[in-house]
Amino acid sequence: MPTKFDPKIHHRRSIRLPGYDYSSTGAYFVTIVTWQRDCLFGDVVNGEMVLNDLGQIADDCWHAIPEHFPNVELGAYIIMPNHAHGIIVIQAEELRNEVGAQHCCAPTTPATNENLHKINVKPGSLGAIVRSFKSAVSYRINKEHNATGIWQRNYHEHIIRNDREMGNIWRYIEANPVNWPDDEENPRNIKR
């Protein structure tokens, strides 16, 4: 018999930076992993990612993010066999058409704690963007291929604080297929 929900026992610890406003202007590096690290999206062949039908759906949904979030620009990204890496840049509406390096890095001061304990995801935040992407991919794969259980719960993120970090992460993402044999997400490298 299932036990009744008890927030003291069943509390999920957040892996986000406490007090940080993830809807604020800035650049974020995200990694989203498939359920049980199953290789659903294709294969790496000769150091290049070859997407299958499910991978193409994930790719299409990634490209569609700015259609649903007009204040978002996408940086480097890659759909890998069992995960996706990408840079998401959230800009304030008034800054969307301006150019400047200061708009591609996250602020270093955390936001207030006013939304820290809310259960709902703040509209326009990184969490809302990732949730929308994951939901769109899951919906289309279920509809077109009758498959479920696409993603692990949650996602990993890193706040990009300066241009040097941006460059390093950009190169990491682009080199991901070449480095697949040694990637920690590669099922061959996971110790169970």
Tell me the average pLDDT of the chain: 82
% of the chain beyond a pLDDT of 90: 64
Residue 14 lies in a domain: no
What mean pLDDT is predicted for residues 16-22? 65
* pLDDT(105) > 80: no
Q: Give the span between the Cα atoms of 113 and 142, in whole angstroms.
A: 37
Residue 169 lies in a domain: yes
35-85, pLDDT tens digit by residue?
999 999 999 999 999 999 999 999 999 999 999 999 999 999 999 999 999
Q: Give the span between the Cα atoms of 2 and 186, in whole angstroms.
A: 35
Residue 11 lies in a domain: no
Residue 191 lies in a domain: no
pLDDT range class, residue 24, cuts 50, 70, 90: confident
Select the more confidently predicted residue: 192 or 56: 56
Residue 192 lies in a domain: no
Residue 151 lies in a domain: yes
Q: Could you please report the per-residue DSSP string of 26-45?
A: EEEEEEEEBGGG---SEEEE
Phi, psi at 24, each rounded to 5°: -75, 155
pLDDT range class, residue 6, cuts 50, 70, 90: low
DSSP state of 93: G
The count of structural domains within the chain is 1
Q: Which of 16-30, 86-100, 102-116, 174-188 has the lowest mean pLDDT?
A: 102-116
pLDDT range class, residue 19, cuts 50, 70, 90: low
Residue 47 lies in a domain: yes
The pLDDT assigned to 38 comes to 95
* pLDDT(7) > 60: no
What is the span of the domain harbouring residue 133?
A: 26-179
Residue 101 lies in a domain: yes
Domain at 39, CATH number: 3.30.70.1290
Asked if 11 contacts 17 with a C-beta cutoff of 8 angstroms, the reply is no
133-157, pLDDT tens digit by residue?
999 999 999 999 999 999 998 999 9
DSSP state of 18: T
The pLDDT assigned to 94 comes to 52
